[in-house]
């Protein structure tokens, strides 16, 4: 497929055929990932491809019971990784640092770029993916299950397999609401209303069209999509909790020596 068609044809896939992804195809996808730019060409990431059904069952609960984890044949977890680099530095008598927050961010960016390259290569080959925010939110549980050593932290991950659904593309905010030329132009209230106009409608309709989500919206007395986002989907309490999990895990994985 043409790259532009692959990019514009993207939809997250949450239902999968019971069909393996060959090692040859997986290698092709991973090779595309590894061609991504990385900070200083340090490639401060690792990719963990999980196929083992027993391990996927264990990861299912760490991924907040999302069915893709067990239904898709492959789960890819992209980690910020300075473990490998630090071992190499030590073997060469160089100072061994990269144990601070900046290093984590470098690894996280590298890992994310690799993940999106792999995603595009997978979609080009007719596969589907769905990112899972649980990779970071429950990085401690996932890190334990994947046997991650210090200086390795899971950042992004997704299910990978042959699609068993054909969802319509999800809307995007209009480009003029996302792009600034030269410098940032802050938004007036009117501009915000206009940028979110279609999202308000389509997002609300999506919730109302799904009986389970509609029931939840009504039970919580939510009046609009903005309330859905902050009262149902991403509550302040849950985000505080996940922040604490990530900060504690970064500390325990030796990424917080910042003094």
Ligand X SMILES: Cc1cc2nc3c(=O)[nH]c(=O)nc-3n(C[C@H](O)[C@H](O)[C@H](O)COP(=O)(O)O)c2cc1C
Residues that bind ligand X (CB under 6 A): 10-12, 14, 66, 130-134, 156, 170
CB of 259 to ligand X, least distance (A): 31
CB of 142 to ligand X, least distance (A): 12
**For residue 163, how many other CB atoms are within 10 A of its CB?**
18
50 close to 58: Cβ distance less than 8 angstroms: no
Nearer to ligand X, 81 or 123 (CB): 123
Nearer to ligand X, 64 or 102 (CB): 64
CB of 86 to ligand X, least distance (A): 27
Nearer to ligand X, 98 or 207 (CB): 207
Nearer to ligand X, 51 or 199 (CB): 199
**For residue 215, how many other CB atoms are within 10 A of its CB?**
10
CB of 130 to ligand X, least distance (A): 5
Nearer to ligand X, 94 or 173 (CB): 173
**For residue 108, how many other CB atoms are within 10 A of its CB?**
21
Q: What is the distance between the alpha carbons of residues 124 and 3, in angstroms, rounded to a whole number? A: 8
Nearer to ligand X, 85 or 120 (CB): 120
Q: Can you spell out the DSSP letters for the chain?
A: --HHHHHHT------B-S-PPPHHHHHHHHHHHHTS--GGG---EEEEEE--HHHHHHHHHHTTT-THHHHSSEEEEEEEE-HHHHHHHHHTT------SHHHHHHHHHHHHHHHHHHHHHHHHTT-EEEE-THHHHTHHHHHHHTTPPTTEEEEEEEEEE-BS--PPPPP---GGGT--SSS--PPPHHHHHHHTHHHHHHHHHHHHHSHHHHHHHHHTT--SHHHIIIIIIS-HHHHHHHHHHHHHHHHHTT-----
CB of 129 to ligand X, least distance (A): 9
CB of 155 to ligand X, least distance (A): 9
Nearer to ligand X, 108 or 130 (CB): 130
């Amino acid at each position: 497929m043409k790259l532009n068609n692959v990019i514009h044809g993207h939809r997250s896939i949450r239902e999968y055929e019971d069909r393996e992804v060959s090692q040859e195809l997986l290698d092709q996808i991973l090779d595309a990932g590894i061609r991504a730019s990385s900070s200083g060409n340090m490639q401060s990431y690792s990719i963990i491809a999980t196929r083992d059904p027993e391990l996927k069952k264990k990861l299912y609960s760490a991924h907040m019971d999302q069915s893709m984890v067990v239904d898709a044949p492959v789960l890819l977890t992209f980690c910020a990784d300075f473990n490998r680099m630090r071992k190499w530095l030590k073997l060469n008598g160089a100072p061994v640092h990269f144990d601070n927050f900046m290093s984590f961010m470098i690894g996280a960016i590298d890992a994310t770029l690799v993940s999106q390259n792999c995603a595009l290569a997978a979609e080009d080959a007719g596969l589907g993916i769905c990112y899972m925010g649980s990779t970071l939110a429950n990085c401690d549980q996932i890190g334990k299950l994947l046997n991650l050593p210090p200086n390795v932290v899971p950042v992004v991950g997704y299910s990978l397999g042959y699609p068993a659904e054909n969802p319509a593309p999800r809307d995007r905010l209009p480009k003029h609401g996302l792009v600034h030329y030269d410098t940032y132009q802050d938004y007036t209230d009117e501009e915000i209303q206009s940028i979110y106009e279609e999202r308000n409608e389509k997002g609300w309709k999506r919730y109302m069209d799904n009986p389970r989500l509609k029931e939840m919206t009504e039970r919580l007395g939510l009046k609009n999509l903005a309330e859905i986002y902050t009262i149902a989907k991403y509550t302040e309490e849950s985000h505080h909790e996940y922040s604490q999990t990530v900060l504690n895990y970064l500390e325990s994985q030796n990424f917080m020596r910042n003094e």
